[in-house]
Structure 1
Amino acid sequence: MTRTDLADLYRAYIACLNRQDWRQLGQFVGDEVRYNGEPVGLSGYRAMLERDFRAIPDLRFEIGLLVVDPPHVASNLLFDCTPTGLLFGLPVNGRRVRFAENVFYEFRDGHIAEVRSVIDKAAVEA
């Protein structure tokens, strides 16, 4: 897969998330995906995303920076949202928060196989 192909695939994955089109998630995420070293599988990954959208009704993934070096993708995702209740264990209770997530993906056979995520929790605390 070329850099352009992988970048296009990643952008389509982000669009899928923003549409909450869970039936199409398997087009982008592998059945045995791992998240931060833990095997979660496609169903666990989907459940995690669904929980995120329930906790953050206006959640939207915005790509701030995208670096592609097949089979890897590095992305800085930007968020500007109003979570309900807790966010990463912090009581935000509907207040607007802005934060970033640095995510590193490994693709295998055209699907996300590994996800490593680091969230800027300090920005949420501020």
Structure 2
Amino acid sequence: MTDIDLRAIYARYLAALNAREFERMSEFAHETLTFNGEVISRDDYTAEIKAHLDAVDEFAWNLEDIVVEGDRVSVRLRDTGTPVKEWLGLQPTGSRVEFTEFGVYRFREGRVEQMWYLLDFQAIERQLAAGAGTAASTSDRQDQRQGSSSAAGEAEFTAAEAEVLRYEPAELKAPNHNDVRSFVHAWFAAFDHAAEAEFFTTHLDDGDMTFTLDGDALAHDHASFRDWYADALRHIPWDFHSIIEIDIAGNHRTGWTLEFFFRHVGKWLDEPNTSTGRPFNRVLHATWRLEHTGSDFLIRRYDLTIAQNTMPI
């Protein structure tokens, strides 16, 4: 199937979603598919979409960028709508939201077989919070601390309380989402500066780890990671990682699940340790399973998928 075919199929799929033509889902998705790493039915996938539409009035998907490579389609969407019910754990405030969605789809015989997607949750959260603040400033009430007779005031306090509860630490000195983000940036900065392998193995479980790219195992323990890393250094004299989005769920007691995209650019040497090479530029989707041992972060699962391969290795 050509790139043009998949572009056209995706355009029809998006048009069907925006037109709420769910009876056409069998045209675009297999009866079972992998959705963010979980095998589900097409009906379950449709129900997931309908749940978003039920919570967000006038939800619309707008295509801003699409890259087709073989059986893979990577997209950047601009989504819009007005939440009217609790959505993504956030309370509605009457504000319209506009945010970025990244999606990676793998097709088989013209229909989606695997997909991964990530919403810019922080942008949604900021816009809803700003809407709550605007509603509060215009509502007619005497004392915010004692409550409000207006729906806008109640929405403000509900949203504010939900935000507080989301970040309230179980233990004051326990690692939180900011610590997780700092660790992710430190991890990739270490790659940028060609740190010693020991930095990375300190944060990988020697007996229980998964490290994959597009489903193929890159390493399964410290020894195989060192081999992979040494080979990468022979072929890549320099590279840089720019994190695009990070979505974090969990806490220090349960561990964290991370999903994020990052751009990976650099120079690739076909013949190791030579002076000639070629540039590469790609976007990858990462899924991590992260824990904290009490003294350090430990990555249990590290799955990568190439989302966009503008200048391949």
Report if TM-score (shorter chain) is over 0.5: yes
Q: C-alpha displacement at 1:70, in angstroms?
A: 2.0
Counterpart for residue 52 of structure 1: 52
Q: C-alpha displacement at 1:87, in angstroms?
A: 2.5
Counterpart for residue 28 of structure 1: 28
Q: 1:35-72 CA deviation, whole Å, 9 max, x = no partner?
A: 10111110101111111111112011100111111200
**Bigger relative CO (Cα 8 Å, ≥ 6 apart):** 1
Counterpart for residue 110 of structure 1: 110
Counterpart for residue 70 of structure 1: 70
Counterpart for residue 125 of structure 1: 125
Q: Residues 32 and 40 of structure 2 are in contact (CA less than 8 Å); yes or no, is this contact kept in structure 1?
A: yes
Counterpart for residue 37 of structure 1: 37
Counterpart for residue 82 of structure 1: 82
Q: Distance in 1 between matches of 2:108 and 2:94?
A: 38
Q: Residues 52 and 87 of structure 2 are in contact (CA less than 8 Å); yes or no, is this contact kept in structure 1?
A: no
Q: Residues 66 and 74 of structure 1 are in contact (CA less than 8 Å); yes or no, is this contact kept in structure 2?
A: yes
Q: C-alpha displacement at 1:77, in angstroms?
A: 1.1
**Which deviates further from its counterpart, 103-112 or 80-89?**
80-89
Q: Residues 63 and 77 of structure 1 are in contact (CA less than 8 Å); yes or no, is this contact kept in structure 2?
A: yes
Q: Residues 6 and 70 of structure 1 are in contact (CA less than 8 Å); yes or no, is this contact kept in structure 2?
A: no
Q: C-alpha displacement at 1:123, in angstroms?
A: 0.6
Stretches of 4+ moved more than 2 A in 1?
none
- 1:7 matches 2:37: no
Q: C-alpha displacement at 1:111, in angstroms?
A: 0.6
How many pairs does the alignment contain? 126
Q: Residues 56 and 85 of structure 2 are in contact (CA less than 8 Å); yes or no, is this contact kept in structure 1?
A: no
Which structure's CA Rg is the greater one? 2
User: What SS does structure 1 have at the residue aligned with 2:113?
Assistant: strand
Q: Distance in 1 between matches of 2:110 and 2:16?
A: 15
Equivalent AA in structure 2 for residue 16 of structure 1? A
Q: Residues 3 and 68 of structure 1 are in contact (CA less than 8 Å); yes or no, is this contact kept in structure 2?
A: yes
Q: C-alpha displacement at 1:116, in angstroms?
A: 0.4
Any stretches of 5+ residues in structure 1 without a counterpart? none
Q: C-alpha displacement at 1:81, in angstroms?
A: 1.3
Q: Residues 84 and 92 of structure 2 are in contact (CA less than 8 Å); yes or no, is this contact kept in structure 1?
A: yes
Q: What's the RMSD between the two structures over aligned residues? A: 1.0
* TM-score where L is the length of structure 2: 0.39
Q: Residues 73 and 104 of structure 1 are in contact (CA less than 8 Å); yes or no, is this contact kept in structure 2?
A: yes
User: What SS does structure 1 have at the residue aligned with 2:58?
Assistant: coil
Q: Residues 16 and 24 of structure 1 are in contact (CA less than 8 Å); yes or no, is this contact kept in structure 2?
A: yes
Any stretches of 5+ residues in structure 2 without a counterpart? 127-313
Q: C-alpha displacement at 1:125, in angstroms?
A: 1.5
Q: 1:16-40 CA deviation, whole Å, 9 max, x = no partner?
A: 1011111111100111111101111
User: What SS does structure 1 have at the residue aligned with 2:14?
Assistant: helix
Q: Distance in 2 between matches of 1:70 and 1:94?
A: 42
Percent identity between the aligned chains? 29
User: What SS does structure 1 have at the residue aligned with 2:83?
Assistant: coil
Q: Distance in 2 between matches of 1:94 and 1:84?
A: 7
